[in-house]
């Protein structure tokens, strides 16, 4: 079996990356998970005009910001630039159009690279139909359902961060680390794995190999070690930033529920035995209230079944959910890669999805990725919203400006059409049926008129309307 090039340093590993090269950079996005040595080596070498394909390029100090800082990036292909409330050098340059941006839904990104690595030219996906993502793309109907065509992606280089490598290039990952790596490994002309350990011949159980060595050309041992104390601080900052997204200032309006009660209400809507995905921001708080509910949490980075936030000292830096939060495993947890994760989403095997919202229209149309004030990005929302799952929007009832988020028609770019079935806000639980909004429960102390006044579209009242229950 051919032994792969084991590089003495990351500088050696990326020595032939030239100006204008395209790179697949494996990271889901959390601050801790990057092929850091390779990125620093590229920064040191100063190569320019790079095209980089990467899910969330701007997360944390060791992200693609190390290349943005030195103006080495020409174009980014990604699903999430970063939180607008936490600007970075990279997101600033994207905003200033100094870096070209191609925004791709997360599941589509994984699938496009997988297609490239499988020798296919492209595929038809339902993700993005009716949105800006579909513009300029072929739309085609199969069995009465609309799909858009997406081209395969291949690149000159792939930079992976993995756990173990053997000299043949066989790779393992830990916990939530797999995400884009198995696809990215296949689609580069030269694949470079930055790993925590290089083990001996035959030391990896053949059943445990995730990326077979045939896809790997070079191996380099990482010298970057995460300081868990610093990581905790970063994650707190990110968490705080996410909590702030879309928070309504209800000056002069009705006082509504605090965020934790909004999340608790959503938890009561989940049914026994459901597989549930929680979007970034407020929705992640729902995980605090699912204990005892027999609900299985799905995370886009490739985890099915995760539990509570671990206590300090018990964290595993490779066990993080799609919001980058450190979580714990439960009995029955499984790990897999992003393409499998979105297969679950696109086919409705994930039965309920809780998403943040900028706007929800009475038709069920959802806008949650882009506003005129700025855009964090799409993440997995478009894929999660197209699989036929029950979409529960969790958001404050009003924008900061005081305008309602529950609207007649969307004025912001849609994430998906006709997908939202329920909306839980600080003021109410509202369902969407074929004819529009139906008020189901009121936050304590509010009247039907309070909610009607805060809602930008007709609001019918359910026959059994009552005060909000959390049982």
- The residues carrying an active-site annotation are 300
Q: Which two tokens stand for residue 211?
A: 């990326």
Among 86, 209, 259, 457, binds a second copy (CB under 8 A): 209
Give, rounded to a whole angstrom, the gap between the first and last alpha carbons of the chain: 60
Cα–chain-centroid distance for residue 27? 11
186 belongs to the binding site for a second copy (CB under 8 A): yes
Q: Binding of a second copy at residue 166 (CB under 8 A)?
A: yes
Number of residues that bind a second copy (CB under 8 A): 68
Q: Cα separation of 227 and 231, whole Å? A: 6
CB 165 within 8 A of CB 35: no
Write out the binding residues for a second copy, residues 94-113 only, by CB under 8 A.
111
Answer for which of 82, 89, 117, 379 binds a second copy (CB under 8 A) is 117
Q: In angstroms, what is the minimal distance from the CB of 257 to a second copy?
A: 29
Shortest spacing between CB 212 and a second copy, in angstroms:
4
Instruction: Show the site string, 371-400: x = touches a second copy by CB under 8 A, - = not.
Output: ---------------xx-------------
Q: Does 314 sit near a second copy (CB under 8 A)?
A: no
Is 308 a binding residue for a second copy by CB under 8 A? The answer is no
For a second copy, the closer CB: 205 or 449: 205
Using CB under 8 A, which of 343, 419, 459, 468 touches a second copy? 343
Indicate the residue among 87 and 307 with the shorter CB distance to a second copy.
Answer: 307
Among 250, 282, 187, CA closest to 443: 250
List the beta strands (DSSP E) in 375-451. Answer: 390-394, 406-407, 420-424, 428-433, 436-442
Return the number of the residue (4 or 440) whose C-beta is nearest a second copy.
Answer: 4
Examine residue 275 and tell whether it contacts a second copy (CB under 8 A): yes
Three-state SS at 465? strand
294 binds a second copy (CB under 8 A): yes
Sign of CA dihedral 400, 401, 406, 409: negative
Q: How far apart are CA 432 and CA 437, in angstroms?
A: 5
Q: Select 118 or 249, whichever has its Cβ closest to a second copy.
A: 118
Distance CA 216, CA 223 (A): 20
Q: Is residue 299 near a second copy by the rule CB under 8 A?
A: no
Q: Does 213 bind a second copy (CB under 8 A)?
A: yes
Provide the minimum distance between the beta carbon of 410 and a second copy in the complex, in angstroms, as a whole number.
24
**338: number of CA atoms within 13 Å, CB side?**
32
142 vs 449, which CB is nearer to a second copy? Answer: 142
Dmax (CA) for the chain in angstroms is 73
Contacts 24+ apart (CB under 8 A), 445-452: 445/254, 445/255, 446/254, 446/256, 450/254, 451/397, 451/427
Least distance (Å) between residue 381 CB and a second copy? 15
Please choose, out of 48-56, 116-124, 283-291, 391-399, the segment that lies near a second copy by the rule CB under 8 A: 116-124
| Identified binder of a second copy from the candidate list 336, 411, 457, 461, rule CB under 8 A | 336
Residue placing its CB nearer to a second copy in the complex, 96 or 121: 121
Single out the residue of 9, 268, 333, 371 in contact with a second copy (rule: CB under 8 A).
333
Taking CB under 8 A as the binding criterion, the range among 256-264, 279-287, 291-299, 436-444 that sits at the site for a second copy is 291-299
Structure tokens at 122: 């492209």
Is residue 332 at the binding interface for a second copy, with CB under 8 A as the rule?
yes
Calculate the alpha carbon distances from 192 to 31, 117, 177, 225 in Å: 20, 15, 16, 19
Contact flag: residue 6 with a second copy (CB under 8 A)? no
SS3 of 106, please?
A: helix
Provide the CA 304 distance to its chain's centre, in angstroms: 15
Find the binder of a second copy among 8, 96, 97, 121 (CB under 8 A).
Answer: 121
- Contact pick of 161, 277, 296, 352 for a second copy (by CB under 8 A): 296
Residues 6+ apart with CB under 8 A from 194: 10, 13, 35, 36, 37, 38, 159, 160, 161, 162, 220, 221, 222
Q: State the Cα–Cα distance between residues 374 and 445, nearest whole angstrom.
A: 34
The pair of three-digit structure tokens given for residue 382, joined into one six-digit string? 């478009």
Q: Contact between 28 and a second copy (CB under 8 A)?
A: no
| DSSP class of 271 | P
Alpha-carbon 143 to chain mean position: 29
284 binds a second copy, rule: CB under 8 A: no
| Among the listed residues 222, 233, 188, the one whose alpha carbon sits nearest the alpha carbon of residue 10 | 222
Is residue 310 at the binding interface for a second copy, with CB under 8 A as the rule?
no
Closer CB to a second copy, 7 or 395, in the complex: 7
Site for a second copy in 411-470 (CB under 8 A): none
Contacts with 228 (C-beta within 8 Å, 6 or more apart), sequence order: 315, 317
CB of 327 to a second copy, least distance (A): 12
Site residues (vs a second copy, CB under 8 A): 1-2, 111, 114-115, 117-126, 140, 142-143, 145, 147, 151, 166-168, 170, 172, 174-175, 186, 201-202, 206-209, 212-215, 272-275, 294, 296, 298, 304-305, 329-336, 339-340, 342-347, 349-350, 386-387
């Amino acid at each position: 079996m051919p032994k792969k090039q084991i590089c003495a340093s990351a500088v050696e590993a990326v020595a032939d990356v030239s100006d204008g090269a395209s790179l697949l950079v494996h990271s889901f996005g959390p601050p801790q998970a990057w092929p850091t040595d390779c990125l620093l080596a590229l920064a040191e070498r100063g190569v320019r005009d790079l095209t980089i394909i990467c899910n969330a390029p701007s997360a944390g100090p060791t992200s693609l910001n190390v290349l943005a800082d030195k103006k080495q990036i020409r174009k980014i292909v990604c699903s999430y630039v970063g939180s607008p409330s936490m600007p970075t050098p990279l997101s600033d340059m994207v905003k200033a159009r100094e870096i070209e941006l191609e925004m791709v839904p997360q599941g589509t990104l994984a699938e496009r690279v997988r297609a490239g690595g499988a020798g296919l030219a492209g595929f038809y996906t339902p993700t993005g139909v009716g949105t800006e993502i579909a513009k300029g793309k072929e739309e085609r109907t199969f069995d009465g359902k609309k799909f858009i065509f997406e081209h395969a992606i291949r690149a000159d280089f792939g930079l992976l961060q993995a756990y173990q490598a053997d000299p043949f290039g066989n790779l393992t990952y830990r916990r939530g680390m797999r995400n884009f790596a198995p696809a990215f490994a296949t689609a580069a002309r030269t694949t470079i794995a930055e790993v925590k350990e290089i083990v001996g011949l035959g030391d990896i159980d053949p059943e445990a190999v995730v990326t077979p060595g045939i896809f790997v050309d070079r191996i380099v041992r990482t010298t970057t070690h995460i300081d868990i104390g610093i990581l905790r601080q970063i994650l707190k900052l990110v968490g705080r930033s996410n909590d702030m997204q879309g928070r309504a200032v209800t000056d002069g309006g009705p006082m509504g529920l605090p965020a934790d009660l909004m999340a608790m209400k959503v938890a009561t809507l989940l049914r026994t035995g459901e597989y549930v995905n929680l979007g970034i921001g407020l929705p992640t708080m729902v995980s605090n209230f699912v204990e005892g509910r027999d609900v299985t949490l799905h995370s886009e980075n490739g985890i099915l079944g995760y539990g509570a936030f671990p206590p300090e000292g018990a964290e595993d830096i490779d066990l993080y959910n799609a919001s980058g939060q450190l979580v714990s495993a439960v009995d029955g947890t499984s790990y897999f890669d992003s393409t499998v994760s979105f297969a679950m989403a696109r086919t409705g095997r994930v039965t309920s999805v809780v998403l943040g919202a900028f706007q929800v229209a009475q038709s069920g149309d959802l806008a949650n990725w882009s506003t005129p004030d700025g855009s964090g990005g799409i993440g997995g929302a478009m894929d999660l919203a197209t699989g036929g799952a029950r979409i529960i929007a969790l958001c404050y009832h009003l924008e900061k400006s005081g305008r309602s988020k529950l609207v007649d028609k969307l004025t912001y770019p849609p994430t998906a059409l006709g997908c939202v079935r329920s909306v839980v806000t600080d003021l109410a639980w509202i369902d969407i049926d074929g004819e529009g909004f139906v008020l189901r429960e009121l936050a304590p102390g509010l009247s039907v008129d309070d909610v009607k006044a805060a809602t930008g579209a007709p609001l019918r009242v359910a026959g059994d309307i009552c005060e909000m229950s959390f049982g």
